[in-house]
Amino acid sequence: KQEVTQIPAALSVPEGENLVLNCSFTDSAIYNLQWFRQDPGKGLTSLLLIQSSQREQTSGRLNASLDKSSGRSTLYIAASQPGDSATYLCAGGATNKLIFGTGTLLAVQP
Amino acid sequence: GAVVSQHPSRVICKSGTSVKIECRSLDFQATTMFWYRQFPKQSLMLMATSNEGSKATYEQGVEKDKFLINHASLTLSTLTVTSAHPEDSSFYICSASRVGLSGEQYFGPGTRLTVT
């Protein structure tokens, strides 16, 4: 059974810093790996999708990588801004069903 | 493109009543829709997977007679919480996958259910 873990659980950084969020999964037979952002009391915003045959995806200041052999994905945020403050969730699975990680609560201090 | 809506966004009901939540894909056809619930300060837990025109597949521990899912068309799925109790109070989120593409899921804005 797929289990997804995110480290750290919470992170506070000053504005302008580059940062990395980590996601680990137990089953390397992963179908897709998605990164999401969730603001308090809101739904999910999809940030990046990495398909199983891909190794990374980039969108603006965000870069996500996928290493199936080690069971890890990272989300790199460059030049962080206060507006990046939110909970970041990764999710993946061996089928089209997504198993969500525990999330990282990011606070970017102005 | 790939917009998913949910209605209502917020609902308060009395214990013992039933509540229906709609999930619509507005600008695409969805082969599969998923229903999740999220308790405060916790992550999303998959409840069930529904394919248009067939019965939903429920995750272990989710009562299918309590959480009725109907996926009558390629753009609409409904979740009915029957005989709701306070412990059913949660944030319910749906998602939809497009026909024939990467399997990426597009999420609705969620429905906050409070059972008093």
Tell me the residue type at A40. P
Tell me whether A99 touches chain B (CB under 8 Å): yes
When CB atoms are compared, the residue of A43, A46, A51 closest to B109 is: A43
| DSSP state at residue B52 | T
Question: Residue B34's pLDDT is what?
Answer: 95
How many CB contacts within 8 angstroms connect chain A with chain B?
A: 54
Average pLDDT over residues A81-107: 92
Average pLDDT over residues A21-43: 90
Q: What is the CA radius of gyration of chain B?
A: 13
Average pLDDT over residues A84-99: 90
Average pLDDT over residues A74-79: 98
Residues of chain B with pLDDT under 70: 1, 99-102
Question: Residue B101's pLDDT is what?
Answer: 58
Nearest to A99 by CA among A22, A8, A25: A25
Nearest to B34 by CA among B80, B81, B82, B69: B69
Show the 3-state SS of A45-110.
EEEEEEECCCCEEEECCEEEEEECCCCEEEEEECCCCHHHCEEEEEEEECCCCCEECCCEEEEEEC
In chain B, what residues touch A53 (CB-CB under 8 Å)?
Answer: none
The structure tokens listed for A89 are 């969730």
Shortest Cα distance, chain B CAs vs residue A15, angstroms? 25
Question: Residue B102's pLDDT is what?
Answer: 65
On the CB side of A80, CA atoms within 13 Å amount to 22
CA–CA dist A100, B95 (Å, integer): 13
Task: Concatenate the DSSP letters of all residues of B62-103 into one string.
Answer: --TTTEEEEEEETTEEEEEE-S--GGG-EEEEEEEEETTS--
Residue with the larger pLDDT of the pair B53 and A98: A98
In chain B, what residues touch A49 (CB-CB under 8 Å)?
Answer: 102, 104
**Is the separation of the CB atoms in B63 and B71 below 8 Å?**
no
